[in-house]
Chains A and B, each alone.
Chain A
Amino acid sequence: MANEMEFRTCPITGKKVYATTQNLMWINAVTAVVFILIGGIMALLVALTRWPAVHLLSPEWFYKALTAHGLNMLIFWIIFFEVAGLYFGSSVVLNSRLAAPKVAWLAYILMLVGSILVDVMVFTDNATVMFSSYVPLQAHPLYYLGIILFAVGALTACGIFFGTLAIAKADKTYEGSLPLFTFGLSAAAIIAVFTLACGAIIYIPTFLWSLGVIKNLDPAMYRLLFWGLGHSSQQINVTAMVSIWYLLGALTVGAKPVNEKICRTAFVLYILFINLASEHHLLTDPTLSPAHKVFNTSYFLYLAVLASMIHALAIPMAVEVAQRKKGYTKGLFEWLTKAPWGEPGFPAMIFSLLIFGFIGGITGVVYGTEQLSIKSHNTWAMTGHFHATVVGGTTLAFMGLTYYVIPLIFRREIIGKKWASAQPYVYAAGMILLILGMAGAGTLGSPRRHWDVTFADSIIPFSFDPTVLLFTTIAALGGILAAVGGAMYVGVSVLSVFLGRKLAPNEAKLVY
């Protein structure tokens, strides 16, 4: 293990990069990429099975692959990457040594053991329970234990982040307020603590139930607490993603937040309101009263939506101001047309913002209405909604950032720069087709988590409007294209990290 106080200075940002932080970021980011590879292979298999023309897997394998896809993408890929981001946002951005690096390694090991346990259980047919693992559908006890270990590890990583903030403050490694990026990540980490607490409250009794210690668990209570984890963890992603948008804006065009007060207030709105809004999962459940639903999923939800609306202005505004300062002032849009579209970070940020905001945000607000939830609950349109937010939004932003982390932090030259530049376009195009296909089919009633929408094996014959099959085909083609984009990402990042030319200490490469 490297000396805790050993650091180098980044020639581009002037930040101190401690060797311990760099190693921890490296291991967490590389692990994240391994999980996006597993999740991506599952994604392709699922897409090829949902497409009636191919219908690749058997039902047993389909439900198994779908469970693995959800867990590997939504939990393992995203959270390992976020942990790397938390160490970057605290230690590197604040020029501080990382708090308790040995504990950070312990957190990593807990998360790794947890995720391997979960994957082994899923692939050995012991946990075909979907991402949500709704009680009373039971998995092997080791599955729940895996989730618990992973959550404890992630919570520990949040602790390391807060500890590093305290050390930086005590050592006066920065002056004045926290930088906006770190402020945003702090909001994400605060939301993460609530989220993981919900996870502990529900997964510990569920683990005991699977062992037979507890006899009965109310499935409705499970749903309430599960979504305190399941949806709130997406709010961590949203908050981390918005922070990364600000960062990518700075890295690609030198964008600077126009009004720090407004940006920071928006992050505070996320902390206050976004988690209770997660109850919109229960809008068509037989358990909550209308007043309760209105308060949490309408009143609270829209205050969180307001925060997103504020970022939706602040980020493009910061980009426009930065571009106009560079002299791109002709007409209304020269700042946009002369933007660095050939650099992967810029299109990744713009597509992430558009897919998240326009598709994910609008569908989310619409489906989150009590009455319209009746039209979308459990349909494939819902799957479309969260692919827009978590994949088109969060994952694409994380991908864009990777192309900067590799040269700046891991000190390797990117192999296949042209592939890197094209990747956000391919991935975004695939995701948009996938999402529109899902939304179209779902609006006509096509269900999520379903092996056969032609209902060939059912006793009572039923078939959908044939338009459903058309939309399903569009989604499948989009899924295949997105899988190509995902493979480009994994290929470029793995090759660069392991085989890329090592950069000299003062060599800075940000040109694509």
Chain B
Amino acid sequence: MPITSPETYWWKPADKQEKIWITVAIIWCLILFTMMPLWHFVGGQNPSVEPMKIRPDDFEKVASAFIEKYKVGEEAGIPVVKPPDGADVYLKGQMWNWVPILELKKGVNYKFHISSVDLMHGFGLQPLNMNFQIVPGHDNILNLTPSTSGTFHIICNEFCGVGHHTMVGKIVVKD
């Protein structure tokens, strides 16, 4: 019984069935273990590999400069920005917007810098469903190459106050 001490010496060899099960489980664990590092080399999607700190005020300045330089219009009070091919792109999470709205070109690689200037936010790219944690004071650097054209939305999926559920951003990818 599990509530009584084992009657005898209990360090006994495993049974055949137990050995088979544990062997299968270990092999399965090894396969899983191999996949994660392997995907870094063969896979197309990996989270940020460049940890970088940036103070929220500094990020605010860099992002504002980026918006001013490449601004092409405005939508619902939020600037629309069209960065040149291959440029560094700055996306700012704040209560409760993603700024700016971006116009990108299909097949071009952009280096995204995403950070927050206030609370923690959650970057959720829809409908692709790709999600990253956006931490104030840290720059989430992602190399993104849009492979389809169309309109994509960014929702916020980390609680950031009472207006959290209204926080939506937009990326338009053109051919």
- Interface residues, chain A, with chain B CB atoms under 8 Å away: 13, 15, 59-60, 63, 93, 128-130, 134, 136-137, 174-182, 184, 218-220, 223, 243, 246-247, 249-250, 254, 256-262, 264, 282-290, 293-294, 297-299, 302-303, 305-306, 309-310, 313-314, 317, 365, 369-371, 373-379, 443-445, 447-453, 455, 457-462, 464-465
B122 touches which of A256, A378, A464 (Cβ 8 Å):
A378
A-B contact count (CB 8 A): 254
With a cutoff of 8 Å between Cβ atoms, the chain A residues found around residue B50 in the complex are 286
Contact between B157 and A378, CB atoms less than 8 A apart: yes
The answer to whether B155 touches A287 (Cβ under 8 A) is no
Q: A250-B3, A261-B14, A462-B126 are in contact. Are A457 and B165 (CB under 8 A)?
A: yes
The interface residues of chain A lying within 8 Å CB-to-CB of B3 are 13, 15, 93, 179, 181-182, 247, 250
Partner of B129, one of A13, A257, A375: A375
Q: Does the CB pair B164–A450 fall under 8 Å?
A: yes
Confirm or deny: B61 has a beta carbon within 8 angstroms of a beta carbon on chain A. Answer: no
B12 contacts A259, C-beta separation under 8 Å = yes
Whether A262 lies near B14 (C-beta < 8 A) is yes
**A284→B132 contact, CB < 8 A:** yes
Q: Which of B7, B30, B131 contacts A376 (CB 8 A)?
A: B131
In the complex, 9 of the A-B residue pairs with CB atoms within 8 angstroms, ordered by the A residue number, are A134-B158, A218-B137, A261-B12, A297-B36, A299-B33, A369-B36, A374-B132, A377-B122, A459-B78
Contact flag A374-B131 (CB < 8 Å), given A178-B5, A179-B3 = yes
A182 to B120, CA, bound (A): 41
Extra inter-chain contacts (8) besides given A15-B3, A377-B157, A460-B168, CB under 8 Å: A179-B3, A261-B10, A286-B135, A371-B45, A371-B47, A447-B156, A459-B166, A464-B127
Q: Name the one of A134, A136, A259, A457 contacting B166, with C-beta atoms under 8 angstroms.
A: A457
Q: In the complex the two chains form, is B166's CB within 8 Å of A379's CB?
A: no
Contact A219 B10 (CB under 8 A): no
Give Cα A287–Cα B162 distance, bound, in whole angstroms. Answer: 27
Q: Which residue of A lies closest to B159 (CB)?
A: A449
Contact among A288, A371, A452, A453 with B36 in the assembled complex (CB-CB below 8 Å): A371
Are the C-beta atoms of B33 and A298 separated by less than 8 Å? Answer: yes
Centre residue among A264, A305, A447, A461 by max chain B CB count within 10 A: A447
Q: Which of B101, B135, B141, B156 meets A219, CB within 8 Å?
A: B135
Contacts of B131 in A (CB 8 A): 284, 374-379
Contact B133 A378 (CB under 8 A): yes
Q: Which residues of B contact A447 (CB under 8 A)?
A: 122, 124, 155-157
* Closest residue on chain B to residue A314 by CB atoms: B18
**Which residues between 135 and 155 of chain B lie within 8 Å of chain A, taking CB atoms?**
135-141, 153, 155
> Could you tell me if A220 and B135 are in contact, using CB atoms closer than 8 angstroms?
yes
Residue of B whose beta carbon sits closest to that of A257: B2
In the complex, the answer to whether B129 meets A459 with C-beta atoms within 8 Å is no
A43 to B3: give the CA distance in the assembly, Å: 35
Residue of B nearest to A309 (CB): B25
Bound Cα distance A132, B34 (Å): 31
Instruction: Establish whether residues A179 and B126, one from each chain, have CB atoms under 8 Å apart when the complex forms.
Output: no
Chain B's nearest CB lies how many Å from the CB of A9? 14
Interchain residue pairs A-B with the least CB separation, the first 7: A447-B157, A286-B140, A260-B10, A378-B157, A445-B129, A302-B29, A309-B25
In the complex the two chains form, is A455's CB within 8 Å of B52's CB?
A: no
